[in-house]
Amino acid sequence: MTALRVLVVEDSATVRNHLCEVLAADPGIEVVGQARDGKEAIELCERLRPDVITMDMMLPLMTGLSATEYIMAHRPTPILIVSASINRGELFRTYDALAAGAVDVLEKPRGDTGDAAWERQFIATVKLVARIPVITHLRAKRTAPPPRALPAAAPAAAGRPRVVAVGASTGGPGAVIEVLRALAPGFAAPLLLVLHINEPFGNAFADWLDAQTAHRVAYARDGEPLAGAAGRVVMAPPGRHLVVREGRLRLTLDAERHSCRPSVDELFESVAHECGAAAIACLLTGMGRDGAGGLLRIRQAGGFTIAQDEETSVIYGMPREAAQLGAACAVLPLNEIGPAVGALLAGGAGAAKNGDFT
């Protein structure tokens, strides 16, 4: 079996040597190169063509973010961010890198030896990231086909939807931004968001997302009225489920679902029970099956459900599970999801037009 070829990018010699030692101890992995800065990372990526790159964010000469953006535009390669950066500014750069096409993020080891659990997680994550097909990421230059008509199966409710619920995991930061940027400011319902992102990297994500679009974004506050969040994006905070109960948003420490807290299924199931046909739900790119069952519950309750398609998903896991369950009223490419949601929000049940969706 051919060994997995890894390029390690890290400016600290101590950390870099430790990462290389951990990787080299696995017989299925070969460290083919080491880079001390972003410029060298690009040069080695071009020359060595590794299967996966581990990328630090804080690098000399060229930052990890700049190197990630260049690599994803010119030599698309699966990138795992390995970072100790947890202050606000550095977290923002990590989110920018994820939006630019990096696949996942992992916290750096706390020491250079003796962290067996972290080492196992590191090896497993590198192998997982390496299996993910990546695409050229030219953010400002992407062209998209014109959106198709909305499908005929619109929400049964006569009025406009009361809530939009969105779930995403791996590849989610960039996908969520694209959906939000397609929505007009002041849309007529709360948008509730669950995104899987590891602590401590999720701590400032809502603030970062707030700066990416014209919409107000904040973490949910336990007990706030659902109706009071109209026109805003309300996100589940790290380590808490977000649900709707008796017209209010609730944050819970209930057990993990699909090894996740927050869980998309927790949100979707509560929305199905609370809002029924007055709900729109979107399940975006992500690994596993979290959200698929909940999306089906919303569709069964009469709500309008959308799953991202395979071609535009970084990982076609969660939306594939939903499609296989028959949970999606429509399976759409990413560029069509925001416009579809916007049209439904603007026109309620009457917004749907005939269209051919598979």
Query: Distance (Å, rounded) from C-alpha 51 to C-alpha 352?
Result: 44
Question: What does the angle CA 4 – CA 124 – CA 102 come to, to the nearest 5 degrees?
Answer: 75
Helices 318-325 and 292-300: crossing angle in degrees, nearest 10, is 40
| DSSP 3-state of 29 | strand
Residue 171, both tokens: 């590849």
Residue 18, both tokens: 């430790």
Q: Which of 51, 56, 290, 309 is catalytic?
A: 290
Residues near 131 by Cβ (< 8 Å), separated by ≥ 6? 78
Q: Which residue has the tokens 């975006």?
A: 284
Find, among 152, 159, 161, the residue nearest to 189 by Cα. Answer: 161
Phi, psi angles (nearest 5°) of residue 63: -70, 165
Task: Return the DSSP state at 79.
Answer: E
Q: Which of 196, 215, 241, 258 is catalytic?
A: 196
Which whole-number Å values give the CA distances from 338 to 74, 106, 275, in the listed order? Answer: 27, 29, 21
Residue 245, both tokens: 């109960």
| DSSP 3-state of 302 | coil
Q: Which of 85, 169, 263, 270 is catalytic?
A: 169
353 near 152, Cβ under 8 Å? yes
Q: Which residue has the tokens 């399940």?
A: 283
Q: Which residue has the tokens 């698309």?
A: 76
Query: Distance (Å, rounded) from C-alpha 150 to C-alpha 297?
Result: 21
Pairing of strands 248-252, 241-245: antiparallel
Active site residue 137: no
Q: Which residue has the tokens 């089906």?
A: 296
Q: Which residue has the tokens 């028959």?
A: 326
Active site residue 290: yes
Residues known to be catalytic: 169, 196, 290
